[in-house]
Amino acid sequence: MKLSRIGCIALTATFLFSVVTLSQAEKASESHALANSTSVKPFLGRWDLTLYAPNRQYPSWLELTENGGQLEGRMVGRWGNAHPILNVKIQNSVLTFSSPKDEEDT
């Protein structure tokens, strides 16, 4: 009987520890998501740019949006047509992205 009682107490303690741990992990995840969300806000919107080529300057713009927690963007290149940009990331207040190669060659 004594072993059964110890086992029940151990099981209850393990369960309570698991609940507390999961609760703490969820709170940390929420605060991390909030921190990431607030850190991208200054970058969202449309930005006027100038692209510099050896013999000419090209007016351009870059637009960043957040959709379902994911960063998305569009950019006008040298030829004046807006196209999506890929791999949009903001890390340590630095924006990086990729422009599709086929858009650059047209």
pLDDT tens for the chain, 106 residues: list them.
Answer: 554 555 455 555 555 454 444 455 555 554 445 445 558 899 999 999 999 999 999 999 999 999 998 999 999 988 888 999 999 999 888 999 998 776 555 4
pTM for the whole structure: 0.58
C-alpha gyration radius of the chain = 25
Q: What pLDDT, on the 0 to 100 scale, is given for residue 73?
A: 96
- CA distances for 89 relative to 21, 33, 96, angstroms: 30, 14, 5
Q: What pLDDT, on the 0 to 100 scale, is given for residue 47?
A: 95
Report how far residue 102's alpha carbon sits from residue 93's, in angstroms, rounded to the nearest whole number. Answer: 28
